[in-house]
Structure 1
Amino acid sequence: MVDPIAVISIHVGKPRNFSAEETGKDWTSAIIKDPISGPVRVRFTNIEGDQQSDLVHHGGPDKAVLAYPQAHYKHWSSEFPQIDWADGSFGENLTLARITGKEVCIGDIFKVGSCVLQVSQARQPCWKLSTRWGVPKLAVRVQQTRMTGWYLRVLQEGEIEAGQTMTLTERLHPEFTVDFANDVMFAKPRRSEDDRRLAACPELSKSWQVTLDR
């Protein structure tokens, strides 16, 4: 079993408009998030005070909360030293201590504060992460390194606070780590047997099930 995981910080943000002068194109995103202190309510679709600008690809019950391992920032500081990487830099809601996608599995259920969260899928970084930091290849490098972080659905609403710990209460699919899910999703060439096996996991997000079935 996984040892309790410390929630180092919690971040929320609302959509902001970015001008073409800053980034080369006009766009809207909530990728910039600010740390909050004290208890915050976690709802079935998001953390209170947090919003998504693109509800087609972000948010919803399967992607209510985004978690990212703090340990990965050491790598990004080495690869892209021109950026002052800090907790929340990847637009995550929860920055977590010690854990990575090697130790977390699809379907894992965690208790934290008074709420219950479940791992639903790995994150698929898009061009907005690259544009936000002015590093065109960043999203691709995140996929290649598998340092994606993961989404959580909310099984029980409640309150959480930075400094609390996430305790694993149930592991349904030890064979489907987040890293393995990334390996399947980003495989070139496709491995149809792995696609079907992961798509059949009922705890996997609906969007990933559809993509893998296709």
Structure 2
Amino acid sequence: MSGKIVSLQIGKVKSYGDKDSKDFLEKQWESGSFKEVVDTQVWVGKLGLAGDEVADKIHHGGEEKAVFANSYENYEIWANFLGFKTIPFGALSENLTISGLHESSVCLGDIHKIGSAVLQVSQPRKPCWKISKRWNNKKFTNEIYTSGLTGWYYRVLEDGFIKAGDKVEVLLRDEAKVSILDANRAFANPSKNRELLEKILNIPSLAPSYRASIEKRISGEFSLEYMKVD
């Protein structure tokens, strides 16, 4: 199993919307999620791709969410949902748009070699309200969450250069073999999937913040407020 980087994106933090508006979709907000395609190789280090910026450093970015990847195979689904014939690369605010890999085939803890860098799948992405703002669709965040097609985050094990066209080689599969899709479905329905959630907690490479969210989800203390679209 292998994949390919079909597009690579980085973004700068900018302000959007109207500071005086009372409407959710028009209120002023700040984000680095409008990412632009980069045609040259980019250095990736412990905190992500060189030149990529994060507005909300409490919930995004950092070593455990250094690089955000999304499956190109989902693009037709999201274009149809949003009512477009096509959507541009980086539409889900991802750094890496990957073909040949999918939430159903990528597992927590998997180690991938991309270009000269080595990355490890650390956790699924948790879609927040900003993706709904970006696409002017209040239902989009929840649709991503309920579908389980969230994309995934990497931590960087070995720095290096990445570019569009690079092969994504699976160096190691975590022995638990819990896919991103299965993890998302378990998280969405904890009462029916407690055994799987407990299995996930035993994966040594799991991102600490994701581990904590699963523990809270099992105990019924986890809040989904970060997705809320008023």
TM-score exceeds 0.5: yes
Shift of 1:133: 0.5
| 1:45 paired residue number | 47
1:68-103 superposed Cα distances (whole Å, 9 cap, x missing partner): 011101111222224741210110000011221111
> Number of residue pairs matched?
212
TM-score by length of 1: 0.93
Trace 1:69-108 onto structure 2 (pairs within 5 A).
69-82=71-84, 84-108=86-110
| 2:222 paired residue number | none
- Give the aligned residue type for 1:31: S
| 1:148 paired residue number | 150
What is the alpha-carbon distance in structure 2 between the residues aligned to residue 105 and residue 195 of structure 1? 14
- RMSD over aligned Cα, in angstroms? 1.6
1:13-50 superposed Cα distances (whole Å, 9 cap, x missing partner): 11111123593222111110000011110010110010
Secondary structure, counterpart of 2:8 in structure 1: strand
Q: 1:162 aligns with which of 161, 164, 177?
A: 164
What is the alpha-carbon distance in structure 1 between the residues aligned to residue 109 and residue 160 of structure 2? 19
What is the alpha-carbon distance in structure 2 between the residues aligned to residue 64 and residue 89 of structure 1? 18
CA contact (8 A) 2:190 2:197 kept: no
TM-score by length of 2: 0.87
Shift of 1:189: 3.7
**Identical residues among aligned pairs (%):** 32
| 1:209 paired residue number | 211
Structure 2 unaligned spans of 5+: 217-230
| 1:181 paired residue number | 183
Trace 1:6-155 onto structure 2 (pairs within 5 A).
6-20=4-18, 23-82=25-84, 84-155=86-157
Secondary structure, counterpart of 1:76 in structure 2: helix
Shift of 1:174: 4.7
| 1:200 paired residue number | 202
CA contact (8 A) 2:186 2:194 kept: no
1:141-190 superposed Cα distances (whole Å, 9 cap, x missing partner): 11111111100010000111111101001011353111111012211546
Secondary structure, counterpart of 2:27 in structure 1: coil
CA contact (8 A) 1:8 1:97 kept: yes
- Give the aligned residue type for 1:9: S
CA contact (8 A) 1:199 1:208 kept: no
Structure 1 unaligned spans of 5+: none
